[in-house]
Amino acid sequence: MTDKRMDYSSEIDKLKYSSTERVFEGVITEVNDVSVKIDFKGRMGKMDIPRRLLITEYDPKVGEEVGWLMSYPEVLDTEANQKYLGALHEYKKRMAKIAAEKEKGRTQE
């Protein structure tokens, strides 16, 4: 248990502005079995979260307003994380290959 606290505190120490949370609001735009899509009010973007993370006492519905505390994202390092870049590159290659195979299948029909 102590080790987890140490790891957490070291992660917080990376942030220069760790206490900038504020209330954000949005509207649910899509609900399915596993996720909820929310459009931020004020045209600030959107997010897709696992449904299990939404706090509610009943099934969520499209059009309902939601609110949450969040801070602004902060870049932690000047260098990109090579592990994630490699994984992203591989994912994009796989998706391009799948799309090419689908297109090839369509042209053969």
**CATH, domain range 20-70:** 2.40.50.140
Q: How many CB atoms neighbour CB 13 within 10 A?
A: 9
DSSP letters, 41-103, are TTS--EEEEEGGGS--SS---TT-EEEEEE-------SS--HHHHHHHHHHHHHHHHHHHHHH
Residue 1: the pLDDT is: 46
Q: What phi and psi values does residue 57 have, to the nearest 5 degrees?
A: -100, 0
With 0.85 as the threshold, say if the pTM is over it: no
Specify whether the CB–CB gap between 15 and 74 falls below 8 A: yes
pLDDT for the residue numbered 23: 92
Span 74-91, pLDDT tens digits: 888 889 999 999 999 999
Amino acid at 22: R
Confidence tier at 4 by pLDDT (50, 70, 90): low
